[in-house]
Structure 1
Amino acid sequence: MTEEIDKPLDLSSHLPFRIAVVSNLLALNRDWKIRNLSDLDPREMRVLINIGSYMPIKSADIAYQSRLDSYTVSRAVKKLLALDLIESQTDLYKKNVKNLVLNDRGKELYQRLIAALDERSKQLEKVLTQDELTLFYTMLEKVENKAEQLLAEQARDLINSGLDAPADQKELIRWYKKSSS
Structure 2
Amino acid sequence: MTFKAKHISKSARSQAFTLTEYIEDPLDLTSHLPYRVAVVSNLLALNRDWKIRNLTDLDPREMRVLLNIGSYMPVKSADIAYQSRLDSYTVSRAVKKLLALNLIASRQDEIKKNVKNLYLNDAGKLLYQKLIFAMDERAKELESILSNEEKALFFNMLERIENKTEAILATQASELIKQGLDAPTDQKELIRWHKKTNTN
Q: Same fold (TM over 0.5)?
A: yes
Matching residue of 2:165: 147
Cα separation, 2, equivalents of 1:60 and 1:36: 29
Q: Give the CA deviation at 1:93.
A: 1.5
Cα separation, 2, equivalents of 1:95 and 1:8: 55
Structure 2 residue aligned with 1:114, among 118, 129, 132?
A: 132
Deviation digits for residues 108-144 of structure 1 (CA, Å, limit 9, x no counterpart)? 0000000001111111000100000000000000000
CA-atom RMSD in angstroms: 0.6
Cα separation, 1, equivalents of 2:122 and 2:147: 38
* SS in structure 1 of the partner of residue 119 of structure 2: strand
Q: Give the CA deviation at 1:8.
A: 0.8
Cα separation, 2, equivalents of 1:52 and 1:172: 24
Matching residue of 1:175: 193
The alignment of Structure 1 onto Structure 2 pairs a total of residues equal to 181
TM-score, length basis structure 2: 0.89
Structure 2 residue aligned with 1:58, among 76, 86, 89?
A: 76
Structure 1 residue aligned with 2:179, among 157, 161, 171?
A: 161
1:102 alignment partner AA: L
Matching residue of 1:40: 58
Structure 1 residue aligned with 2:37, among 13, 19, 24?
A: 19
Does residue 78 in structure 1 map to residue 96 in structure 2? yes
Does residue 2 in structure 1 map to residue 20 in structure 2? yes
- Structure 1 gap segments, 5+ residues each: none
Q: Give the CA deviation at 1:54.
A: 0.3
2:161 alignment partner AA: V
TM-score, length basis structure 1: 0.99
Cα separation, 2, equivalents of 1:101 and 1:59: 11
Identity of aligned residues (%): 73
Cα separation, 2, equivalents of 1:33 and 1:83: 21
Structure 2 residue aligned with 1:137, among 140, 147, 155?
A: 155
* SS in structure 2 of the partner of residue 49 of structure 1: helix
Larger radius of gyration: 2
Deviation digits for residues 71-91 of structure 1 (CA, Å, limit 9, x no counterpart)? 000000000000000000111
Q: Give the CA deviation at 1:152.
A: 0.3
Matching residue of 1:97: 115
Divergent runs of 4+, >4 A: none
